[in-house]
Structure 1
Amino acid sequence: MARGDTRASRGGGIRRLFTWRKLLGTFLVACLLGMGALYAAYLIVPVPANANAEATMQSNVYKYSNGKVLARTGKVNREIVGLDQIPKKVQNAFVAAENKTFYKDNGVDIKGTARAAWNTLTGKGKQGGSTITQQYVKNYYLDQSQTATRKLKELVIALKVDQRMRKDEILAGYINTSYYGRNAYGIQAAAQAYYRVDASKLTVAQGAYLASVLQAPSQYDWHAAGDKGRRLVQERWNYTLDNMVEEGWLPAAERSGLTFPVPKAPKAAPGMEGQTGYIVEAANAELVRQGVNETDLKAGGWTITLNIDEKKQKALVKAVEQQLEDKIDRKDDEQAVVQAGATSVDPKTGAVVALYGGVGATEHWMSNATRRDYQPASTFKPLVLASALENDAETQDGRKIGLGTVYDGTSKRPVEGSDEPFAPENEDDRSHGMVTVQTATNKSINSVYAQMIVDVGVGNVKKTALDLGMKDGKDFGETPAMSLGTMGASTWDMAGVYATLDNHGKKVTPTIVKTAAHKDRKAEPVRSIGSQVVSRETADTVTKAMMGVVESGSGFRAAGNYDAAGKTGTSENNRSAWFVGYTPELVTAVGLFGEKPDGTGQVTLTDTINPGRANGGRTPAQIWGAYTTKALGGGSDERFDLEIDESQIVEPVPSRSETSESPDPTPTRTETDEPTAPAETGTPQEPTPTRTQTQDPDPTPTWTRPTRPTSPATPPPPDEGVVSDALQ
């Protein structure tokens, strides 16, 4: 056979094998098989009952009272928001960028999906081609793999989801689950990451950029992109806006006036360093106390607005740094034991406006603001006085207790009328003779308050203390020593107690959380202002007593251009030193605590921040004064509005100046409110006027309090506190 005949025979055989009828039939069979496979898959593949592990993970967002973000917590930086919080034109920008037919299609793009699957199978690269519904399904139910199996599941589930869900629900899910780069999942996190605004404040131009960046988050981030990436994202941004005009979602005139919205430079998400961790911890603890499930809180999705005032918070941190941290060396083992804590409260609202938990939450996690393992010492004494006034208590010889009542201030004087022997030592074992309650408060005289608590009744004092806001009554130890603050307390607790006194006896419960909302629920806020727990006259009289502490007593270093009342305290073995005080607008408790560097126990503060004892009238009062001055804008003209029995006011009467062992070579205050000491009979006597000393045998200058101090007073009176292991 000729060669040509052979070729013709072979060609004819091929044509007979692949006739158009056979090819069409094969194609139709393949289509039927494919459709059958799809139908079978439609029947077999269910819509998952639950989302994948990461789709619903969110961060908790913590904000200052002014709305500025303080911190975000959680593994995934996401905050789910509803479409009602996303401007309509921004919603349309996402549809215009990704899927113009979204509102009309059935949730899938068969051609695009088939092309992507084929290219994946044939090794031509992983490609998209999905609708918004398919992308939502991929993000929410599946994973980011590009296998043919996953693509098939995506298509089937998308068909079912489109039938079961409204388009707005799908769009919201897509916008909230997508990754935008910069570690931002969802539009709210993206809006903050790129433009430092909430999603509700996005402009249409900004929304179009975020919709555009979804195509290639790493390549299209303006600040990370090269020239090509910047050109491409601008092209896509224009494409998105043009599609919006085409669909009637954006007027052409508005479109022509838009300019490319260059995003802000990347910024690291705020972490838990510094005071942030302490604040977040306190907020979380409060939410759990209010009934928020701890597991739900950890799952994320909460937007928590705090009562923390950003300016006051910074002022408190700066005050601690200037008055303490800048003066010590934390590499020195002796000085490293000093820990500071503070809580500042608005007495009218109960809002915790500032908090200092320590050198930094990543360095010292236990918050010194909320810890209760140190004694409040003599800052408890005003509560003894409050209980005496509230219960109309009398001395052992039947005299009603008030600011002018005279007590024996002899050091180590045994208390009378108690089954429990107690004879506390005063500071430096100093005996003061017969003194008024006002003077005993100014000087923080232990022997007077030890006797007073016996006169009032230890049980009555404990009840008053708990009513005012002290915690953990089991820790009180109902003995006369309780007068010296032997229980545990935190600066948070003491700020609340003193805020109640500042609030004229109406209970104040400090609260750090202003609002806390989740997309599904809200947390009930703390009821920060409660009922009248002591009478206004009682509270105001105690305030009057503590004004003397600041004006002419152990808390003089806290004085400033404002009305102030407060009390110092130094605990057993000098393990803690306190100043708790208030103005009409602000209550702040400051504490210093001696802690072993490894955090395993308490140690003395003696010879750490200054030679000798570190008492409350020194560094704590200085921190308090520096912070209060700054927080009040340099000072305040607001005065205490006190309603007290005029007979309670103890006017100073000049008397001989007491000398004092003060480490500061500055003049001492002339004692003006002590009665003449009686003969050594040990029996309290009413005060009798004394002659003004016209010639003091000790040529030490005297100090007269100005009507309105413009800066902290400098001449120190005798500091409160006691030596060695005595309580103060």
Structure 2
Amino acid sequence: MRVLPTGDNYNAADGSGARVAPAGRKRRRHRILIFLAVFALLGGSGLVAGGYYFDSVPTPTDLRLPESTTVYYADGRTKMATLGAENRTIVPYDQMNDSAKQAIVAAEDRSFWTNKGIDFSGVLRAAWSNVTGGQRQGASTITQQYARVAADLNGVTYSRKLREAVIAWKLDDKYSKEEILGFYLNTVPFGRGAYGIEAAAQTYFGKTVRRDAPAANQLTPAEAMVLCAMVKQPEADPNDPEGSPGYDPRRNATAKQNSIDRWNYIRDGMVKLGYLSAQDAANLAYPDDVKPVDPNAGRSGLDRPTGLVINHVLSELRQTEAFKGKPAEFIRDGGFKIVTTIDKRVQDAAEAAADIRRDSAPEAVRGQPKNWQAALVAVEPGTGRVLGYYGGNDGAGADYAGWYYDENGEARGFGQHPPGSSFKVYDLAAAVGDKISVKQHFDSPETKEFPESGRTKESPAGPIRNAEHAPCQPDCALWEATVASLNVTYFELTEKLGTAKVIDMATRAGVDSMWAVEKGNPRPERVELRGQPAEEVAGRFSTEVGIGQYGIAVQDHANGMATFAAGGKRAEQHFVRSVTKGDERVVEERLVQADVGLDEEAINQLNWTLSRVKAAKLDNGWDSAGKTGTWQAGQSTTQNVHTWMVGYTGALAAAVWLGTTDGKPLRTKDGSYEVYGSTGPGPIWRQFMEQATAALKLDPDKYRFGTPEFPDDTPSPTPPETPKPTTPSPTPATASPTPSKVPTPSSSPTGRPKPTTTLSPSLSPLPSLSPSRTKGPR
């Protein structure tokens, strides 16, 4: 707030910015000098240009400073990443401590509190140079420096000195000194990509300028002097980076000496201005704890596995009302606080288990060939929150766990893979939901023909073959066939139910997309399963869907497991809990469940059967259930390209895929092709589930399935025959089900990931679909 004219006295030592306006005569003299300077500049730049600047110069209220958007883990405190073209965090002037305010005045403009915002002699020198063709002069006052930045931010391209003079004049006339200094400290670059004093304090010292922070975390005067020294030259001269490196003391020896010299200059200014006593100045020591140069500073998280999470977060937000149709920089540079669903404890466990290059990974997958790749997604039952996501080690690289829409609306990601026998969980759920007991027996020979689905000895794909053997064969109960993963039984079950019913159950549970293999198309095409009219998906899939021929995303599979873990209550998977800006809540999480149609008896039978799968058993006392799966290479019966382990406890669901980056069969470092769901992804899943539940400190007794025992030898009555669907003649496909890239959707992106603000799923039944060629899953 300004002080009205009362005299010529000014106490610079108080640092308050209060000043006494000059007498009327002195003010008129300043005005005359300004007009002379401006007139001289107009002579060199043109009256038309001068009039333009007088009428339309931007003021601070017109500026939209890019401010970093920060992404946090679910606790809202632990930072995951910082986004934005500029690393900037705006702090209001009255919330800053005095260290930076005083140091910047001592460094850049010691007459700041008394001048009129313009260095008159400097403006006149610039005017004369402009008229005579001499070298342009730079601004000297803090107000002029801010004016220069303000004009540049708005893309003005005429005479810079005229621009600075007019804007500085208007600024000083309209705003208090405190406001101007606040604008300046939040605007200027400090090097290393840090804009504004708060970003600089964090980047160079890991501290803050906020006065309400603990004293030990606040920027000290000595540290502020190091930062303010850098304003003179924030970055090294690109034409001579070694000889003119600027003032960053960690850049090289020359830069450090520059910094020390400038620091001493600022210290002397602090004494002259009364900010420091001579004794205090003598006791100050130059700080040696400046952080090393980090090329990723201000963008932490984007280069790590969590960088892939950011892609999903942004994709999800672009489909909310708050961000729909906005340019990409609106989110990145908007100064938002995004709190994700990712729990840091769960994420750490996911990376420790699924990053097979780490020593923390299970021994079975550690140190294997370089083309091995794992992906893991964990979802919280009942909420759909993605608690952990590992799609690869490079946050800027390929995503093997899912797919998302980029800022251009294009689908990105490699996260769909044929699920093999892990997809049988949806067959089983559809069966028990249709009152087919897990004790019902099926004919399960080693191989079996299915003429109605085109699987005969004479057909190109041949009959269905069991990849495994079970003691119960050739007559097995459904639960036995599930544990042994018998393809013959599940192919027959899919025929009995109809492919539409199996796909519908998968869709209701959480599988939003499936990739169809089309004859003549080298890449599988994504089919949106939810809310689509029957005619749009008819003919895209075949009975082989029941044994996992068609690719699905790891994240969708995890959400399906979460639905079963929640007793058949499906929640929308999502990555965002909230978005705020200051006190404004921009996006809020809404949790809505949908019942998939499984009663208590059906859920009990599902849990009981899947809990008998050996690979799903945990050693930590938790009730658990799951299913393995593999998909073979070509017509091979011994080499696998894709392996899976999916499952859940009452508190956590997860899906793990293990395959290769180049589509070649999995081969161990010892040359063996014996890699299966139980031996590859199984150990990853078990280690993750045990470590994650331990980190969450949950009581397993509160998450018991509570399923009754179903005696293994009790016969079950055969239910009424389910009418078989009418399907067209089989048309075997010839394309490989292993894509190299997720294709761009044929329609505009309106599907997944769904916004967290609308979580109600559309669960319309799908039609029966035609058959295609399959390969043998396990």
TM-score by length of 1: 0.69
For residues 243-642 of structure 1, what are the structure 2 equivalents within 5 Å?
243=273, 245=275, 262-268=288-294, 269=296, 270=300, 272-290=302-320, 292=323, 293-297=326-330, 300-302=333-335, 303-320=337-354, 321=356, 322-323=361-362, 326-330=366-370, 336=371, 338-347=372-381, 349-361=383-395, 364-370=397-403, 371-390=414-433, 393=434, 400-414=435-449, 424-428=464-468, 432-472=473-513, 474=527, 477-517=540-580, 524-525=587-588, 527=590, 529-535=592-598, 537=600, 538-549=602-613, 553-555=614-616, 560-573=620-633, 574-596=640-662, 602-605=663-666, 611-633=672-694, 637-639=699-701, 641=703
Q: State how far apart, in whole Å, the 1-side matches of 2:385 and 2:270 are.
A: 46
Question: Structure 1 residues 350, 131: CA separation in 2 closer, same or farther (over 3 Å shift)?
Answer: farther
Shift of 1:619: 0.8
Please state if 1:232 is matched with 2:232.
Answer: no
- Quick check: 420-429 or 501-510, which moved more? 420-429
Structure 1 segments unaligned to the other structure (5+ residues): 1-28, 331-335, 394-399, 597-601, 652-672, 678-682, 685-723
Residue pair 2:139, 2:161 contacting (<8 A) in 1 also: no
Cα deviation for residue 100 of structure 1 reads: 6.4
CA distance in 1, matches of 2:292, 2:350: 29
The structure where strand makes up a greater share of residues is 2
Correspondence list, 1:91-102, <5 A: 92-93=101-102, 96-97=105-106, 98-99=108-109
Query: Are the equivalent residues in 2 in contact too, given 1:569–1:579 (CA < 8 A)?
Result: yes
Post-superposition Cα deviations, 1:412-452, rounded to whole Å, max 9, x if no partner, equal: 34569x67768532114767233333222222222222333
How many residue pairs are counted as aligned between the two chains? 602
Confirm or deny that 1:134 pairs with 2:144. yes
Secondary structure of residue in 2 paired with 1:142: helix
Alpha-carbon distance change, 427 to 245 in structure 1, aligned in 2, over 3 angstroms? same
Whole-Å separation in 2 of the counterparts to 1:257 and 1:546: 71
CA 1:606–1:142: 2 relative to 1, 3 Å: closer
Q: What does the per-residue CA deviation read over 1:143-167, in whole Å, with 9 as the maximum and x for residues that have no partner? A: 899x994223211122234445666
Judged with a 3 Å threshold, the aligned counterparts in structure 2 of structure 1 residues 406 and 91 are, in CA distance, closer, same or farther, namely same
* Percent of paired sites with the same residue: 25
Contact 1:438 1:650 in 2 (8 A): no
In structure 2, how many angstroms separate the alpha carbons of the residues matched to 1:157 and 1:278? 43
Secondary structure (helix, strand or coil) at the match of 1:592 reads strand
Structure 1 residue identity aligned to 2:291: A
- State the 1:89 CA deviation: 3.4
Q: Does the 8 Å contact 2:561/2:647 carry over to 1?
A: yes
- Residue equivalent to 2:3: none
Structure with the greater alpha carbon radius of gyration: 1
- Cα deviation, 1:162-213, whole Å, max 9, x if unaligned, reads 4456666644432232111233222332122112245545445355553454
Compared CA separation, residues 185 and 300, structure 1 to 2 (3 A): same
Displacement after TM superposition at 1:139 (Å): 1.3
Partner of 1:221: 248
| C-alpha distance after superposition, 1:658-706 (max 9, x if no partner) | xxxxxxxxxxxxxxx46799xxxxx99xxxxxxxxxxxxxxxxxxxxxx
Note if contact 2:378-2:655 (Cα within 8 Å) is conserved in structure 1.
yes
Shift of 1:138: 0.9
Equivalent residue letter for 1:287: L
What letter matches 1:141 in structure 2? A
Asked if structure 2 preserves the Cα contact closer than 8 Å seen for 1:60 and 1:300, the reply is yes
Pick which of 316-325 and 234-243 moved more: 234-243
Structure 1 CA distance, aligned partners of 2:429 and 2:225? 64
Q: 1:309 to 1:237 in 2, by over 3 A?
A: farther
AA in 1 matched with 2:474: G
Tell me what 1:725 maps to: 775
Shift in Å, 1:489: 1.1
Cα distance, 1:579 vs structure 2: 0.4
Bigger proportion of residues as helix: 1
Q: Structure 2: how far apart are the matches of 1:618 and 1:236?
A: 65
CA distance in 2, matches of 1:644, 1:541: 11
CA change 1:236–1:265 in 2 (3 A) is same
Alpha-carbon distance change, 33 to 298 in structure 1, aligned in 2, over 3 angstroms: closer
Q: Deviations over 1:358-414 (max 9, x none)?
A: 35356x534344435421222221222222333xx2xxxxxx423333333333345
Give, in whole Å, the separation in 2 of the partners of 1:287 and 1:595.
29
Unaligned runs of 5+ residues in structure 2 are 1-31, 235-244, 404-413, 457-462, 515-526, 530-539, 634-639, 722-773
Within 1, Cα distance between the matches of 2:287 and 2:131?
Answer: 39
Q: Residue by residue, what CA displacement relative to the aligned partner does 1:254-289 show, whole Å, maximum 9, x if unpaired?
A: 999987665432241247545244233233322223
CA displacement 1:276-330 (0-9 Å, x = unmatched):
4423323332222335335335763455443334444343333232346633232
Matched residue, 1:152: 162
Which amino acid is 1:650 matched to? F
Q: Indicate the residue corresponding to 1:650 in structure 2.
A: 710
The partner residue of 1:186 within 177, 185, 196 is: 196
Q: Hey, what does 2:725 align to over in structure 1?
A: none
Q: Residue 519 of structure 1: CA displacement? A: 7.4
| 1:89 alignment counterpart | 98
TM-score w.r.t. the length of structure 2 is 0.65
RMSD after superposition: 4.6
Residue 656 of structure 2 contacts residue 684 of structure 2 at CA under 8 Å; is this kept in 1? yes
Contact 1:193 1:266 in 2 (8 A): no
Q: Give the distance between the partners of 1:497 and 1:167, measured in 2 at CA.
A: 60
Q: Which amino acid aligns with 2:227?
A: L
Question: Any conservation in 1 of the 2:400–2:416 contact (CA below 8 Å)?
Answer: no
Paired with 1:465 and 1:486, the residues of 2 have a C-alpha distance of 14
Most deviating of 110-119 and 342-351: 110-119
| Residues 42-72 of structure 1: CA deviation (Å, up to 9, x unaligned) | 6442444699xx9945655444445444444
Asked if 1 retains the 8 angstrom alpha-carbon contact of 2:510 and 2:570, the reply is: yes
Sort the Cα spacing of 1:631 and 1:121 in 2 relative to 1 into closer, same or farther, 3 A. farther
